[in-house]
Amino acid sequence: VNTCPAPRVNSNLLGQNVGNVVCVVGRVKGPAQGGIMYLEGPCGSDIIIDRSSASREIGSEFVEIVGLVKTDRTVEEMRSTDFGSDFDLKMYNEVVLLSNGAVKGIF
């Protein structure tokens, strides 16, 4: 089941998607503070999520965020989906790279 119609990206690809809606998956690094939450992204770098308009609490260790990439590469959350506590970020990063690379057309 494809839970995200937007392009799947990691932190390295955020700069190429400023102004676009994207899908990011990561490990929650702690509760949001001041509307900001940090995810450990699939390539190991942090992704900053602006949750100031979020309508639900995050309920798992891994989460998918669909949101708008702002000029500072922060992702403004539009919706989120819990992915549980058993998720392979490294394998997911391989999918991100494939879906943005030479075989982009099959995704």
| pLDDT for the residue numbered 87 | 97
Please write the tens of the pLDDT for every residue from 2-44.
566 799 999 999 999 999 999 999 999 998 899 999 999 999 9
Please, which pLDDT band fits residue 104 given cuts at 50, 70 and 90? confident
DSSP letter (8 states) at residue 34: T
Specify whether the CB–CB gap between 25 and 49 falls below 8 A. Answer: no
Q: Which amino acid is at 59?
A: G
pLDDT at residue 1 greater than cutoff 60: no
Question: pTM for the full model?
Answer: 0.91
* CA dist., res. 107 & res. 99, Å (int): 6
- How far apart (Å, rounded) are the C-alpha atoms in residues 83 and 85? 7
